[in-house]
Structure 1
Amino acid sequence: MAVKTIIHDTLFLKQKAEHAIKEDYQVAIDLRDTLIAKRESAAGLAANMIGINKKIIAFYMGDLPIVLINPRIIAKSGRYSVQEGCLSLCGLRKTVRYQTIIVEYQNLNFKFQKQSFSGFIAETIQHEVDHCAGILI
């Protein structure tokens, strides 16, 4: 298990992440392992939060840690306002999220998938996809 340090450098975190390729597989595993180690404080993580500027996110679906590679939100509905925290930032901040989203992504085998998510899982994915785009709450 390779648990990485969480990055707090906002200049680094504001950079747009690069497309992940098969050679980035270990980054995805390290991100998942770090999420597992931070279970008590993190619902999700993006690769830039562990210092790797690639489009890879990890989050929990129930007790199962899930990794999405090159995630892209292609549809969203049910706009609402919420306050969120972030492991890389202090305090809570207001933001807008959507209740239901559809995401295109690659799984850990780099196979393309499309899936609908809703509720807190959708909120977490949106937060981490924002990280990939260099957007901080």
Structure 2
Amino acid sequence: MIRDIVRDTFFLSQPSVPAERNDVAIAEDLVDTLKANADRCVGLAANMIGERKCIIAIRVGHAYLAMLNPVVVRHAKESYEVREGCLSLAGERSAQRYAWLEVEYRDLKFRKKRQVFRDFPAEIVQHELDHCAGILI
């Protein structure tokens, strides 16, 4: 189901709580909402659709990936500065990002997965993880 995008900075600045197996429907709604906004967005976190759960969805090329409880387990030593926009906030802001990171997460069947993201997909994941932490970028 496609959901409205939350723009309330007070709500968005609250850290998310861990997702549970019965939160998979939220992840599916997140992917549906990301697809509906594909012309202007490459990633979403659950709080952006009104759910304070640690769930993110990203688009890499033409593929969509939902991650429940994503955690960075390794990352590049060096970081660099980028300018990022956000569907929930107006304008762009600076952020520090790693060129690559390895993330452990649960998939839509709540199976544990591990994946390495590089370059722009790594930036997307880091942006959405900031949302889960209540960090507004």
Taking structure 2 as the reference length, the TM-score comes to: 0.97
Whole-angstrom CA distance in 2 between matches of 1:75 and 1:114: 11
Whole-angstrom CA distance in 2 between matches of 1:53 and 1:113: 22
Post-superposition offset of 1:119: 0.6
Post-superposition offset of 1:120: 0.4
Aligned to 2:6: 7
Aligned to 1:37: 36
Q: Which runs of structure 2 are paired with 1:19-30 in the superposition (5 Å)?
A: 19-30=18-29
Residue 108 of structure 2 aligns to a residue whose secondary structure is: coil
Aligned to 2:105: 105
Letter in 2 for 1:95: A
Post-superposition offset of 1:42: 0.5
What is the identity percentage for the equivalent residue pairs of Structure 1 and Structure 2? 46
Aligned to 1:95: 95
Whole-angstrom CA distance in 2 between matches of 1:29 and 1:74: 25
- In structure 1, list runs of 5 or more residues that go unmatched: none
Post-superposition offset of 1:97: 0.4
Whole-angstrom CA distance in 2 between matches of 1:36 and 1:99: 25
Whole-angstrom CA distance in 2 between matches of 1:45 and 1:19: 16
Residue 136 of structure 2 aligns to a residue whose secondary structure is: coil
Letter in 1 for 2:122: A
Aligned to 1:120: 120
Taking structure 1 as the reference length, the TM-score comes to: 0.97
Aligned to 2:80: 80
- In structure 2, list runs of 5 or more residues that go unmatched: none
Residue 23 of structure 1 aligns to a residue whose secondary structure is: helix
- Alignment RMSD (CA, Å): 0.7
**1:39-96: CA deviation from partner (whole Å, max 9, x where unpaired):** 0011100000000000000011210111011001111114110000000000010110
Q: Which runs of 4+ in 1 moved over 4 A?
A: none
Q: How many residues align?
A: 136
